[in-house]
Amino acid sequence: MKFYVRTYGCQMNVADSNEMGRHFQARGLVQTENPDEASIFLVNTCTVRQHAEDRAMSEIGRLKRWKMKKPGRKVVVTGCAAERTKEYLEGRFPFLDLVVGAKSIESFSDMATGLLERRETDEDLDYAVPAIDEKISAFVTIMRGCNYSCTYCIVPYVRGREIYHSPEQILGEARDRVSEGAREITLLGQTVNSYRHGEYRFADLLQAVAGVDGLERIRFISPHPFYITDRVIETMATVPEVCESLHLPVQSGSNTMLKTMMRNYTREHYVALVEKMRRAMPGMTLSTDIIVGFPGETEEDFQQTLSLIEELQFDWGFIFKYSTREGTPAAKLESFPEELIEERHQRCLELLDRIASEKRSKLVGSVHEVLIEEGNVGRTRTNHRVYVQGDVKQGDSISVVITNAQRATLEGEIHNGNVTFENFRQEDRRSRSTR
């Protein structure tokens, strides 16, 4: 029996999809890339913006025909939109076999058992070793939920408040992924660096995961600026496995907006953090999330966002058009016409893209350690995707000189020189500190 998974939304959803896939695989099911072959179709939904939810809903609607084509087919809907709209979903799409909201994801395994008809011979399949594709880069969820209440955001409602996995569980999962072939682990959480478990803090976790045998690289998403402590910076700078790249959502460059968004930091605090991190990790890359058109955002506020992008020179970023989420505090505020939001979105994108491409062009000629993930494509420690010319294979960790940086995916060639910027930096890494 085969299953097919469609995932919408963020990396947390990708990690959840992988986890649900592992539950199916543990029961002897095989993942397929072709829905025609599948008996189970799982749609893992997102609700962070209306657009994401609409796309999932129309896909679910189309699955009625898919289901009718072969007897015994089952449709499972999970994730954040499932949490937000469970009753609506079940009413509007009565053919659904299972709806599991994001808050119940940890009990997915039990629910999936009920879904699968059990035959006597399936018994031993329960203990079969899951056939998981070797993946170079894997996710490990360290916490779920969010204790913040950013006024635009639906996440705390659909994912609930923070719960933390124990360090033992996290390390166990990291070891499992490495034994399946992973060389890079990305730790995941809604505000990943607010992690705590007893006396254990996020920095301790970074250090512990770095100790996993065979693991070369660690990343984490998405951190919240409030929890980027000096200790986190120092750990990032001194633990060689932690990559010099950070995705740090800022949302706006205007203190007025940051306040109404309830982000719990100011522009000045964010800028100071970035400066501190760049001192500790020269050459690090920085990316961000920005929302344009939040209710009440004046042209002046918007200019502040543009000036922040200019000031901090982000390496890349995601600009989101504000989307009203029912039930959030911001939904009570008057929203802007779509054209205004669209126009700001365009202006913001243009600036961000211009800076990103200027920064990329400076990379031509520099040498980076690239870990090949698939085909000829891999990533630098700074999280640039690179297409490497020549004879390379999955899992290779090679020195690459960048030859072309016109597109987001850089191009490079294998570098045979001895002393490289990257080598220099690795040797130097242990002596760096935040002070």
How many residues can be counted in the chain? 435
- Cα-flanking dihedrals φ and ψ of residue 161, to 5°? -85, 165
Closest CA to 143 of 31, 259, 12: 12
Cβ-Cβ contacts under 8 Å for 317 (sequence gap 6 or more):
287, 288, 289, 290, 309, 352, 356
Q: Which residues inside 221-250 make contact with ligand SF4, applying CB under 6 A? A: 224
User: Is 320 among the residues that bind ligand 5AD (CB under 6 A)?
Assistant: yes
User: Is 323 among the residues that bind ligand 5AD (CB under 6 A)?
Assistant: yes
Residue of 155, 206, 212, 386 interacting with ligand SF4 (CB under 6 A) = 155
- Cα-flanking dihedrals φ and ψ of residue 15, to 5°? -65, -40
- Cα-flanking dihedrals φ and ψ of residue 319, to 5°? -105, 125
Radius of gyration of the chain (CA): 23
Nearer to ligand 5AD, 289 or 411 (CB): 289
CA distance 170 to 349: 37
Q: Which residues inside 28-57 make contact with ligand 5AD, applying CB under 6 A? A: 48-49
325 binds, among ligand SF4, ligand 5AD, none (CB under 5 to 8 A by kind): ligand 5AD
Nearer to ligand 5AD, 20 or 261 (CB): 261
Residue 146 burial (C-beta neighbours within 10 Å; 0-12, 13-18, 19+):
buried
Residue of 59, 176, 289, 411 interacting with ligand 5AD (CB under 6 A) = 289
Residue of 46, 81, 89, 153 interacting with ligand 5AD (CB under 6 A) = 153
Q: Give the CA-trace dihedral at 206, 174, 41, 57, to 10 degrees.
A: 0
Q: How far is the CB of 147 from ligand 5AD (least distance, A)?
A: 15
User: Is 175 among the residues that bind ligand 5AD (CB under 6 A)?
Assistant: no
Q: How far is the CB of 251 from ligand SF4 (least distance, A)?
A: 7
148 binds, among ligand SF4, ligand 5AD, none (CB under 5 to 8 A by kind): ligand SF4
Question: 410-414 and 385-389: which strand pairing?
Answer: parallel
292 binds, among ligand 5AD, ligand SF4, none (CB under 5 to 8 A by kind): none
Q: Which residues inside 227-286 make contact with ligand 5AD, applying CB under 6 A? A: 249, 251
Phi-psi category of residue 181: left, alpha or beta, with phi > 0 → left and psi -120 to 50 → alpha: left
Residue of 60, 112, 153, 348 interacting with ligand SF4 (CB under 6 A) = 153
Q: How far is the CB of 318 from ligand SF4 (least distance, A)?
A: 12
Q: Rule CB under 6 A: which residues touch ligand SF4?
A: 146, 148-150, 153, 155-156, 190-191, 224
